[in-house]
Chains A and B, each alone.
Chain A
Amino acid sequence: MDESMIEMMGRVGVYAPLFLGAIGSILGCAAGGQAACGAMLDVEGGYGRLIGVSALPSSQTIYGIVVMLSMNGSFQIQAAPGMFAIGVLCGLALLFSGWFQGKCCASAIHATKSKPEVFGLSVAPAAIVEGFAVFAFVFALILAGGLPAAAGGS
C-alpha cells in the first residue's frame, strides 16, 4: 500500500473518534431533546432537569476530542495503521453509546414525567451506558499511548 494511502488512513483514525462521537451525540441529544420537548407539553414544572437529562449524550463528543488531540499530537506514518484501528473502533463505540444513551434519556424523561419520584433511578441506565463510553475512551488513550511515536509513545 502506498505511503499516502497509509497516511490518509492514519488521519482518518485521528479524526474518527470526534467524527463518530459527534454523530452519536447528535442522535442521542436529538432523541432526548425531542422527548424533553414532548414532556414539557404535559408537565407543569421541572423543565430544567428534563433538558439536563437530554443533554447527557454530549459527553461522547468531548471524549472524541480528547482522543483525537492525544493521537494528533505526534502523528507518525509508522503509527498510522494502529491509529486507524484505534480511532475508528473507539469512534464506533462512542457513536453507539451516544445514540443509545439518548434512547435511555428519552425513556427516563418519559418515566419521570408520570412518576417524578423515580427521576434518579430512571437516569441510571443512561449513566451505565456512559460508563461503557468511558471504558472505550480510557482504553483508546492507553492503547494510543503504546503506538510508536504517537501520544507520547516510543
Chain B
Amino acid sequence: MESYYTLIASLPPLPRDFDDGPIPITAATLWHRLSMLGQRDREIIQQVSDFFRWDRQPRDRSDAEIRDTHRRLVSEIRHPLVARLVNHRIEMRTVVAALRCQRDGLPQPEFPELPLSVWIRRHWDEPCFRLNHRFDWLSRFCQALDDDQPKRAQWHLFTELWNLWCRLDDHYNFTFESVVLYLARWEILHRWASQDEQRGRQRFNDLVEDILQTSR
C-alpha cells in the first residue's frame, strides 16, 4: 500500500479560486516534491502533465491530429481518475471548438470519437447544440463570446474545471487521486497566471527588488 502523507502534506494549499492570489508553489519545487512518488505513480503523473502540456495547443494543430491524440490517450490511460479528467477536458474542448466553428459559419470540424460528438452533429443547427442543461457554463461562455470578451470566456471555462476538480478533491484524503487533482488545479493556476501580464510585471519587479535588497 503506497503512502502519500509526506507528499500531500508538503504541498502548500491552493487558493480558494484560481484567480485569487499568486501560485503557491513554483513548477520546479512542485516537480521536486512529486519526485517522492514511486515509479508507477510517476508515470501516471507524467501522463497527466503531458496531457496538460498538449492541451495548451498551438493554433496550427489540425483536427485530425487532435483526434489521433485523443485515440492514443484513451488507449494508454489506465487510471480511472486520469481518464475522467482527460475525457472531461476533451469534451469541453470539443464543445468549444464546435461552437466557434458554428459561430464563424465554418463547416463541422473533425470530432474526436465521443458520444458527445454524435449529439453535436445531430444538433448542429441549434443554439448551443441543445447542451445548455448538460453544460451549464455554456450559456455564460456564449454570452462572453457575444460580448467579444475572450478572456472572460476562458475564465468561465477555467471556473468550471476548477470547481469540478475541487469537488472531486473533497472525496479524497491523502491518496494518489489527491496528488493528481492537485497537479490538475495547479495547471489551471499556472495557465491563468501566465495570461496576466500586469501581475507578471509586478512579480518580476518584486523579484528584482528582493534581489537588490539582498545584495545591499
Interface residues of A, Cβ cutoff 8 Å to B: 30-32, 34-39, 41-42, 103, 106-107, 109-110, 113-114
In B1-56, which residues have CB < 8 Å from any A CB? 3, 5-13, 33
23 example contacts (A-B, Cβ-Cβ < 8 A) are as follows A30-B3, A31-B5, A35-B6, A35-B9, A36-B9, A37-B10, A38-B5, A38-B7, A38-B8, A38-B11, A39-B9, A39-B10, A41-B33, A42-B9, A103-B173, A106-B9, A107-B173, A107-B174, A109-B9, A110-B8, A110-B9, A113-B13, A114-B12
Instruction: For the complex, give the distance between the alpha carbons of A108 and B104 in Å.
Output: 53
Collect the chain B residues with CB atoms within 8 Å of residue A36's CB: 9
Collect the chain B residues with CB atoms within 8 Å of residue A106's CB: 5, 9, 174
- Count chain A CB atoms within 10 A of each CB in B5, B6, B7, B12 and give the residue with the most: B5
Collect the chain A residues with CB atoms within 8 Å of residue B11's CB: 38, 42
Collect the chain A residues with CB atoms within 8 Å of residue B8's CB: 35, 38, 110
List 7 additional contacts besides A35-B6, A38-B7, A106-B174; criterion CB under 8 Å: A32-B5, A35-B8, A35-B9, A36-B9, A39-B9, A113-B13, A114-B12
Whether the Cβ atoms of B3 and A31 lie closer than 8 Å is: yes
Main secondary structure, interface of A, reads helix
Collect the chain B residues with CB atoms within 8 Å of residue A32's CB: 5
Instruction: For the complex, give the distance between the alpha carbons of A113 and B24 in Å.
Output: 13
Least Cβ–Cβ distance between A42 and chain B, in angstroms: 5
* Closest chain A residue, CB of each to CB of B7: A38
Collect the chain B residues with CB atoms within 8 Å of residue A114's CB: 12-13
Instruction: For the complex, give the distance between the alpha carbons of A36 and B174 in Å.
Output: 13
Question: Which of B12, B13, B33, B174 makes the CB contact (< 8 A) with A35?
Answer: B174
Instruction: For the complex, give the distance between the alpha carbons of A35 and B3 in Å.
Output: 10
Contact mask for chain B residues 157-176; partner A; CB cutoff 8 A; 1 contact, 0 none: 00000000000000001100
Instruction: For the complex, give the distance between the alpha carbons of A110 and B8 in Å.
Output: 8
Instruction: For the complex, give the distance between the alpha carbons of A42 and B12 in Å.
Output: 6
- Count chain A CB atoms within 10 A of each CB in B9, B10, B12, B174 and give the residue with the most: B9
Collect the chain B residues with CB atoms within 8 Å of residue A103's CB: 173-174
Whether the Cβ atoms of B5 and A42 lie closer than 8 Å is: no
Whether the Cβ atoms of B12 and A34 lie closer than 8 Å is: no
* Closest chain A residue, CB of each to CB of B3: A34
Whether the Cβ atoms of B12 and A38 lie closer than 8 Å is: no
Least Cβ–Cβ distance between B1 and chain A, in angstroms: 10
Known: A103-B174, A107-B173. A34 touches B5 (CB 8 A): yes
Least Cβ–Cβ distance between A59 and chain B, in angstroms: 20
* Closest chain B residue, CB of each to CB of A36: B9
* Closest chain A residue, CB of each to CB of B5: A34
- Count chain B CB atoms within 10 A of each CB in A30, A103, A107, A110 and give the residue with the most: A110
Least Cβ–Cβ distance between A123 and chain B, in angstroms: 15
Top 5 nearest A-B pairs by Cβ distance?
A38-B9, A34-B5, A38-B10, A38-B6, A114-B13
Collect the chain B residues with CB atoms within 8 Å of residue A110's CB: 8-9, 174
Least Cβ–Cβ distance between A37 and chain B, in angstroms: 5
Collect the chain A residues with CB atoms within 8 Å of residue B10's CB: 37-39, 41-42
Collect the chain A residues with CB atoms within 8 Å of residue B173's CB: 103, 107
* Closest chain B residue, CB of each to CB of A30: B3
Least Cβ–Cβ distance between B2 and chain A, in angstroms: 11
* Closest chain A residue, CB of each to CB of B174: A106
